[in-house]
Amino acid sequence: MSAEQQTSRKILVVDDDQDFRWTMGNVLQAAGYRVIQAQDGEEAMSLLEKDTPDLILLDYRMPGETGLKVAAKIIKKGSGIPIIMITAYAEVKSAVEAIKMGVYDYVVKSGNYRALLPSVIFKAVKQHEMEREKARLALDLERLVITDDLTSLFNRRYFYRKIEEEMVRAKRQNGKLTLILFDLDHFKEYNDTFGHLEGDRALKEVGKIILSSIRDKVDSGCRYGGDEFAIILPSADIKHASDVAGRIQRSVREKKMGNIDISTGIAEYDSESSMEDFIKAADDALYEAKKQEKRGD
C-alpha cells in the first residue's frame, strides 16, 4: 500500500477514554491514517450512518453497551468493515468470543502495543481489500456465466435456473407466476438482407426494449435462443404479462427494423405443472400467435 493510499484510509476509534483517543489519533495520523473518534457505541453507530471508515478500533469495556454488543450491531449491518477490539485486560475468553463473532483481531493495551497497532491495522485493511476484490471478481465471473454478451439479457442457462426457483416460490407462497416467450418474425430475412452485423444490432435493440419494459430486479429478461426471448414475471397475472408483451411489441414496431415484428406466447403457472409443461404452454401459445400472424399475411 503506497503512502498516498494509506493516507486516504480512515480509522474510527471508539473508546470512552479521551486521552486514549487523543493518543491513538496522533499515533495513527503519524502512520498516515485519517482518524475519526467516538466516545461510545451510540456515537459510533451514529457516525457509521453518515460515514464508512476502512477499519474500526473498538474498546472492549465502555460505559453503557460493551464493545462486544457494539461489534455485534456493526457486523449485523453487513458493512464488512474490519473491527479490531482493544482492551486493557488480557481475557482469553473475551478474545475468543470476539473473534468468533467476526472481529478481525483483539489487542491488549500493554507493552509496546501503540507502536504495533499501525502494523496490525495495515494487515487488517489489506486483507479486507483483498477479500472485497475477490468477492467482486467472483460476482463478475457469475455475471459472465449467466449473461448473454450480445443483448445483456440473462442467458438460457440462467433462464432454467430462475424459472425453477420462481416455480418453487410461487407454489410455496400460493402466488402468481407468468412466462412470456418471444420470437422475432422475419428476422432471418432481415439478417440475410442486411448482414449479421445489422442482425446483431437488431437483437441488441430488442434486448434494450425488453430491459426497459420489465420491472427492475423483479422480472428476468432472457435470451432464450438465437432470435427467441423469454421473460419470467413473478407475482404477475396474464393481464400484466399481456401489457408487458404489448409494450414490447409496439416498441419493436416503432423501431422500424426492416419488416421485423414480434410474436408472443404467454402462460400462467399452474402449481400442478412441471417446468416442461409450463414452458410448453407458453411455447404453444407462441405457436398459435405465429399461425395467426401468418394468416394475417
In the predicted structure, residue 63 carries a pLDDT above the cut 80: no
Question: Quick one: average pLDDT of 21-50?
Answer: 89
Burial tier of 51 (Cβ tally within 10 Å: 0-12, 13-18, 19+):
exposed
Residues paired with 263 in a beta bridge: 183
In the predicted structure, residue 136 carries a pLDDT above the cut 90: no
Q: Report whether 154 contacts 220 (CB < 8 A).
A: yes
In the predicted structure, residue 209 carries a pLDDT above the cut 70: yes
User: What is the model's pTM?
Assistant: 0.62
What is the C-alpha to C-alpha distance for residues 170 and 164, in angstroms, rounded to an integer?
10
- The 10 Å CB-count burial string (b at 16+, else e) for 211-244 is eebbeeeebbbbbbeebbbbbbbbbbeeebbeeb
Question: Quick one: average pLDDT of 214-241?
Answer: 94
Domains identified in the chain and CATH numbers: 3-144 (3.40.50.2300), 156-296 (3.30.70.270)
Predicted pLDDT of residue 3: 45
Q: Quick one: what percent of the chain has pLDDT higher than 90?
A: 50
Regarding predicted confidence, which is higher, 38 or 129?
A: 38
In the predicted structure, residue 165 carries a pLDDT above the cut 50: yes
Predicted pLDDT of residue 283: 94
> Considering the chain, what is the average pLDDT of its residues?
88
In the predicted structure, residue 212 carries a pLDDT above the cut 90: yes
Torsion (CA) 136, 139, 144, 147 in degrees, nearest 10: -130
Lowest mean per-residue pLDDT among 91-95, 158-162, 276-280: 91-95
Regarding predicted confidence, which is higher, 207 or 25?
A: 207
Residues with Cβ within 8 Å of residue 2, at least 6 apart in sequence: none
Q: Quick one: what percent of the chain has pLDDT higher than 70?
A: 95
How many helices (H) and strands (E) the chain has is answered by: 11, 9
What is the C-alpha to C-alpha distance for residues 277 and 27, in angstroms, rounded to an integer?
68
Question: Quick one: average pLDDT of 212-240?
Answer: 94
Lowest mean per-residue pLDDT among 8-17, 104-113, 157-166: 104-113
Question: Quick one: average pLDDT of 123-129?
Answer: 84
Q: Catalytic positions, please?
A: 227
Task: Please write the tens of the pLDDT for every residue from 287-297.
Answer: 998 887 666 55
What is the C-alpha to C-alpha distance for residues 33 and 10, in angstroms, rounded to an integer?
6
Task: Please write the tens of the pLDDT for every residue from 147-160.
Answer: 998 999 999 999 99
Regarding predicted confidence, which is higher, 145 or 282?
A: 282
